[in-house]
Amino acid sequence: MKDRIVLAYSGGLDTSVAIGWIADATGAEVVAVAVDVGQGGEDMETIRQRALGCGAVEAYVADARDEFADEYCMPTLKANALYQGHYPLVSAISRPVIVKHLVKAAREFGGTTVAHGCTGKGNDQVRFEVGIQTLGPDLKCIAPVRDLALTRDKAIAYAEEKHLPIVTTKKNPYSIDQNVWGRAVETGYLEDIWNAPTKDIYDYTATPEFPPAPDEVTITFKEGVPVALDGVAKTPLQVIQELNRRAGAQGVGRIDVVEDRLVGIKSREIYEAPGAMALITAHKHLEDVTIEREHARFKAMVGQRWSELVYDGQWFSPLKRALDVFIEDSQKYVSGDIRMVLHGGSAVVNGRRSDTSLYDFSLATYDTGDTFDQSSAKGFIDLWGMSSKVASGRDQRVNGG
């Protein structure tokens, strides 16, 4: 029996050609695996049939949309995860769920090797291969573009020669990756970081300069997870999808950033994440009223480290799992409603309510009913500043100031 190689399959030109290219280069049979994480586009059955038409001996399709929303997007939301304060981990969090299904398919179909379509200069090669090494340490990994010299020109020529059922016409100037959490665009003229993005690169968001009327939405959370919009119960996937539509119509979630790739280079990326950015904004505001101050400060540091680990392909690492436990515990009281207005590229919170709030009106008010004992403040200030006062006195004495 021939060896079998499991290929992460998107249905596009490069991975379609990779089916035959891998078979020719290795003599192995190819099993194509397509995972639906809410990327939209073609019907998954169409993609499955294309894989078979391009020479795959098996084609496995997984509808992982709810799984992705529940088990990957929600932990990201609870962490308020933004790599370098900007990137909502659009691609980074989709790779682990794809890896999970690649390894599952390898077990089911007798695969010994897993293949992916990444180049040698990106982050995703690390995310795929580290994940595969962790979940399937006996499996080998190959990347046709990186390891088997599969270039775009060769892919087009091969597809035409073999009469593959795939379009080989004019190349899109951009590299695009998308799922329900957001959309990532790079390469082409965007590689000159002085060039402003043009309107044609956007798909999830409308132009914010000419928005429709303001859209006010109330998001209900239970222990950090959104469970309803405007009082209507919804699953996490449904919440993300509806906010993608509503926030996207207002131009919310456009991000233009130069980020530090794991491989050591800087890369200019354009992101669209209307639902993700609206949810992260709302979630942060609910945490502001439900998490104690020192707890919140430390959680922000944990969230930053969590983001770095996930960006760097360490979703399955021991440290990330340990941070998950802390973050999950922090969400115990993050329940309530956030009201926000979506308009002209902004998601602005204008109302909060929670049965587990730490906000005490009688302590905060300056009007009648104030229960705060202001006489306590003087002694507090004296003690709070004591160490600095003593150090300052020492400095002046030693330096003659």
Instruction: Name the domain boundary from 113, 145, 171.
Output: 171
Instruction: Name the least confident of 197-211, 214-228, 363-377.
Output: 363-377
User: Residue 153 pLDDT more than 80?
Assistant: yes
Cα–Cα distance, 215 to 325 (Å, whole number): 35
**Are 63 and 111 in the same domain?**
yes
**Are 248 and 267 in the same domain?**
yes
User: Residue 152 pLDDT more than 80?
Assistant: no
3-state helix, strand, coil split of the chain in percent (to 5) is 45, 20, 35
**Are 344 and 246 in the same domain?**
yes
**Are 198 and 265 in the same domain?**
yes
Return the percentage of the chain with pLDDT > 70, whole number: 98
Q: Is residue 44 part of a domain?
A: yes
**Are 68 and 128 in the same domain?**
yes
Q: Which amino acid is at 51?
A: A
- The predicted structure's pLDDT at residue 255: 98
User: Residue 171 pLDDT more than 70?
Assistant: no
* CATH assignment at residue 370: 1.20.5.470
Cα–Cα distance, 272 to 257 (Å, whole number): 11
Q: Is residue 296 part of a domain?
A: no
- The count of domains in the chain is 3
User: Binding site residues for ATP, as ranges?
Assistant: 8-16, 117
**Are 138 and 216 in the same domain?**
no
User: Residue 168 pLDDT more than 70?
Assistant: no
Of the pLDDT bands very low, low, confident and very high (cuts 50, 70, 90), residue 5 is very high
**Are 76 and 127 in the same domain?**
yes
Could you report the per-residue pLDDT of 302-361, keeping only the tens digit for each?
Answer: 999 999 999 999 999 999 999 999 999 999 999 999 999 999 999 999 999 999 999 999
Could you report the per-residue pLDDT of 63-88, keeping only the tens digit for each?
Answer: 999 999 999 999 999 999 999 999 99
User: Residue 17 pLDDT more than 70?
Assistant: yes
- The predicted structure's pLDDT at residue 369: 86
DSSP, collapsed to helix, strand or coil, labels residue 13 as: helix
pTM: 0.94
**Are 196 and 134 in the same domain?**
no
Instruction: Name the domain boundary from 152, 171, 190.
Output: 171
Domain of residue 32 covers 4-171
**Are 22 and 167 in the same domain?**
yes
User: Binding site residues, as ranges?
Assistant: 8-16, 87, 117, 119, 123-124, 127, 175, 259, 271
List, by residue number, the catalytic residues.
Answer: 14, 95, 124, 175
DSSP, collapsed to helix, strand or coil, labels residue 194 as: coil
**Are 26 and 49 in the same domain?**
yes
Residue 206 exposed, middle or buried by CB count within 10 Å (0-12, 13-18, 19+): middle
**Are 13 and 161 in the same domain?**
yes
Backbone angles phi, psi at 340, to 5 degrees: -140, 155
